[in-house]
Amino acid sequence: MGLQDIAAAVGTPCYVYDADLIRGAYATLDEAFEGYPHAIHYALKANSALAVVRLLHALGAHADANSLGEVDVATRCGFRPDQIIFTGVGKSAAEIDRAVSLGLLAINVESPGELDRIDQRAVAQGTVARVALRVNPDIDARSHPHISTGLKSNKFGVPIDEAPALFREMARRKGLRPVGAHVHIGSQITTLDPLTRAAEAVVALAHALRAEGIALQHLDMGGGLGISYDGGPVVNPADYVRALVTATRASGLQIAIEPGRVLVGPAGVLLTTVVDVKQFPGAKRFVVVDAGMTELMRPALYNAFHRIEPVVPRAGEPGPVDVVGPICESTDAYARDRLLAPVEVGDLLAVRDVGAYGAGMAHTYLRRPLSPEVMVERGEWRVIRRRQTLDELLSLEE
Ligand SMILES: Cc1ncc(COP(=O)(O)O)c(C=O)c1O
């Protein structure tokens, strides 16, 4: 069983996930806590394929949802409401209503106005909603600007200086019970220092609140741990967990983390077929493949790097090429001036590390149906989502 067989059976483009890599990544994080009270809330936004979410559930993860759809996916995959954290910078009235009625572990509050709306809905429902406050510590995650979230200039959370007053307000409200503080400063973070400083900031906040009689239960340190897309240095996940535990231990509070990418990113490859190769005198060599920004947005969105390799290498020296998709947008390129071994039309390429923010961000621009997803487990593979048909894509329309 190899990638070639899978591509031959389901066609390309297709995503292939390795369940054992996900298991291994989960175990590395979990074991690094060495018994310190914690919960690993898998961030469904990274990849919410039902089979992936069920796998994380079976491993003992809890869930972090960023929309009502993700909350419902989590419950359908077996998570109890008290294992689900709901985060979102603009929760609609319907989302708040349902989140309150489910009795989630925590709704992460993003603003004074939202605090008010959650309280009103909880009172109307005759219940008390568990809430955490998302604080913005104004710490530079030193990641790509499009995936940094913990700076004053970002739309997320409330400035940490405002947090004590808002916690007091939450404690006063009939419909709210403050249970945690939340911080998430960005994604694809590759140095430990900003993550440690963010953790220390929420621990200090929790200490100050306790002195006022507001006792939290958990500190939600968010997600954001980066992976090595290009072989460059990243934070060792066990070192990351140890740094969080060191920062938190004296408080005795439970640690929640919301990792996405580090759990599933390296477990996925995107298989794509070369559909054209062209080069004119004095110009670049273009390798055109059948996958594009519709299947993997990251290069077009943030110039992200993904390794690209022929599945069956041909003899010959690598040469510089642009690997581009078939979409009529100039940003639809997976790699520019990349050294690639010789390829011909019909060759299969593997785009690496697409398990996070790959299929989850896919879309159907140009009426391109969604591509299938395959899970490899114990030497066997199975389709966990088949290819969408054009009829299915059009079925909502008049
Ligand atoms: C609130 C929140 N939690 C968790 C995550 C997961 O981040 P990552 O996949 O980088 O671990 C994100 C993603 O940006 C997020 O916005």
Domain with residue 136: its CATH number is 3.20.20.10
- Residue 184 is predicted with a pLDDT of 94
**pLDDT given at position 73:** 98
What is the rounded distance in angstroms from the CA atom of residue 41 to the CA atom of residue 222?
A: 9
**Based on the domain organization, do 10 and 35 belong to the same domain?**
no
Q: Which letter does DSSP use for residue 189 in this model?
A: B
Q: Which atom of ligand 1 is nearest to the CA of 41?
A: 4
Q: Indicate if 273 and 232 belong to the same structural domain.
A: no
Closest by CA to 239, choosing from 198, 200, 191, 183, is: 191
Residue 135 lies in a domain: yes
The answer to whether the CB of 350 is under 6 A from ligand 1 is no
Tell me the best of 110, 155, 221, 258 to mutate to test the pocket of ligand 1, counting ligand atoms within 8 Å of each CB and taking the most. Answer: 258
What pTM does this model have? 0.96
Domain assignment present for residue 398? The answer is no
How many angstroms separate the CA atoms of 273 and 276, rounded? Answer: 9
- Does residue 104 sit in the same domain as residue 8? no
Cα-to-centroid distance, 98 and ligand 1 (Å): 22
In a domain, 109, yes or no: yes
Is the shortest distance between the CB of 225 and ligand 1 below 6 Å? yes
Residue 395 lies in a domain: no
Output the CA torsion 136→140→142→143 (10° steps). Answer: 20
Q: What is d(CA 199, CA 194) in angstroms, rounded to the nearest whole number?
A: 9
Mutate to test the pocket of ligand 1, among 26, 89, 187, 227 (most ligand atoms within 8 A of CB): 187
Give dist(CA 366, CA 22) in Å, integer: 32
Question: Does residue 110's CB lie within 6 angstroms of at least one atom of ligand 1?
Answer: no
| Gap from CA of 183 to ligand 1 centroid (Å) | 10
Rounded CA gap, 201 and 207, in Å?
A: 10
Instruction: Name, in order, each residue with C-beta under 8 angstroms of 214's C-beta and a sequence gap of 6 or more.
Output: 167, 168, 171, 178
Do 187 and 296 lie in a common domain?
A: no
Q: Provide the pLDDT for residue 157.
A: 83
**360 C-beta closer than 6 A to ligand 1:** no
Q: What was the pLDDT predicted at 148? A: 64
Atom number of ligand 1 nearest to Cα 259: 11
Is 182's C-beta closer than 6 angstroms to any atom of ligand 1? no
Distance, CA 22 to ligand 1 centroid (Å)? 17
Among 265, 300, 317, the domain boundary falls at 265
Q: Are 315 and 273 members of one domain?
A: yes
Phi, psi of 271, rounded to the nearest 5 degrees: -95, 130
Distance CA 64, CA 281 (A): 52
HSE-CB of 242 using CA atoms within 13 angstroms? 7
Residues 317, 190, single domain; the answer is: no
Statement to judge: residues 227 and 251 lie in one domain:
yes
Tokens representing 255? 């640690």
Which parts of the chain have pLDDT scores under 50?
Answer: none
- Domain match, 200 and 346 both: no
Distance, CA of 70 to CA of 384 (rounded, Å): 18
Per DSSP, which regions of 249-394 are E strands?
Answer: 254-257, 268-279, 285-289, 308-310, 319-324, 333-340, 348-351, 373-377, 380-385
Report how far residue 307's alpha carbon sits from residue 299's, in angstroms, rounded to the nearest whole number: 11
Q: 293: domain CATH number?
A: 2.40.37.10
Report the nearest atom of ligand 1 relative to the CA of 187. Answer: 10
At residue 139, the pLDDT reads 86
The count of other CB atoms within 10 Å of the CB of residue 348 is 20
Per-residue pLDDT at 149? 65
14 in active site: no
Ligand 1 near 258 CB (within 6 A): yes
Q: Are strands 380-385 and 348-351 parallel, antiparallel or unpaired?
A: unpaired
Å from CA of 222 to ligand 1 middle: 7
Q: What is the pLDDT of residue 150?
A: 64
Q: CA-based angle 77:74:24, to the nearest 5?
A: 75
The answer to whether residues 197 and 284 belong to one domain is: no
Considering the domain architecture, whether residues 42 and 85 belong to the same structural domain is answered as: yes
Asked which of 265, 288, 307 is the last residue of a domain, the reply is: 265
Catalytic residue among 328, 367, 397, 398: 328
For residue 395, report the distance from its CA to the centre of ligand 1, in Å: 32
Residue 258 sits in the same domain as residue 127: yes
Q: Which of 28, 44, 48, 66 to mutate to test the pocket of ligand 1 (most atoms within 8 A of CB)?
A: 66
Where a domain ends, among 220, 237, 265? 265
**Ligand 1 centroid to 44 CA: how many Å?**
9
Ligand 1 pocket check for 64: Cβ under 6 Å: yes
Cβ atoms of residues 47 and 359 within 8 Å: yes
pLDDT tens digits, residue range 11-39? 999 999 999 999 999 999 999 999 999 99
| Whether the CB of 43 sits within 6 Å of ligand 1 | yes
- Angle of helix 192-211 relative to helix 237-248, nearest 10 degrees, comes to 20
**pLDDT score of 151:** 65
Q: How many CA atoms lie within 13 A of 198 on its CB side?
A: 35
Per the CB < 8 A criterion, the answer to whether 71 and 97 are in contact is no
Q: Which domain holds residue 361?
A: 3-14+266-388
Give every CB contact of residue 223 below 8 A, 6+ residues apart in sequence: 43, 64, 184, 187, 257, 258, 259, 260, 261, 262
Residue 315 lies in a domain: yes
Q: Is residue 40 part of a domain?
A: yes
Instruction: Specify the pairing of strand 14-18 against strand 38-43.
Output: unpaired
What's the domain count of the chain? 2
Q: Is the CB of 247 under 6 A from ligand 1?
A: no
Distance (Å, whole) CA 364 – CA 295: 9
Same domain membership, residue 195 and residue 307? no
Residue 186 lies in a domain: yes
With respect to residue 396, please indicate whether it lies within any of the assigned structural domains.
Answer: no
